[in-house]
Amino acid sequence: MADALKIVGQSNPVAATLTDLYTVPASTSFSGNLTIANRSTATSFRVSLAPAGAADALSQYIAYDAAISANQVIQLSGIALATTDKIRVYATLATLTFTVQGVEIT
C-alpha cells in the first residue's frame, strides 16, 4: 500500500500536563503538520519534538507558552520526524485540541 496522508494523533490533554501526542512507529519516518484548536478562552500551549523519545528538555521545544486566542486555530507545518521520535504537547487550560496529520513513510 502506498504511503498516504492521514491523521496519526489527536489529543485534548489535561491542563498543565505534558502529554505524548504521537510516536513515530519503528522503521518509519513522518512528515506533516500539527493543528492546535482552542475551543474556549485565550490560553497558551507548548509543543516539543523529542528525538528517539528522549526525556523532556528545553532544547526540544518548537513552541513554549505560545499564546492562542479564544476560538483560534494555529497550524505548525513542516514537521519531519524519524523512527521513535515523539511529539509532546502541553496546554495551560484543558480547552485545546491537538491534531497531527501527515505521511508515515515506511
Structure confidence at residue 2 (pLDDT): 60
pLDDT of residue 4: 85
pLDDT tens-place values along the chain, 106 residues long: 567 899 999 999 999 999 999 999 999 999 999 999 999 999 999 999 999 999 999 999 999 999 999 999 999 999 999 999 999 999 999 999 999 999 999 9
3 state SS for 35-51: EEEECCCCEEEEEEEEH
Domain count, the chain: 1
User: Residue 27: which CATH number?
Assistant: 2.60.120
Q: How far is CA 58 from CA 3, 28, 49, 71, 73, in A?
A: 32, 25, 10, 28, 24
- Containing domain of residue 93, as a range? 5-105
Residue type, 52: A
The CB-side HSE value for 2 (13 A sphere, CA atoms) comes to 2
Residue type (1 letter), 1: M
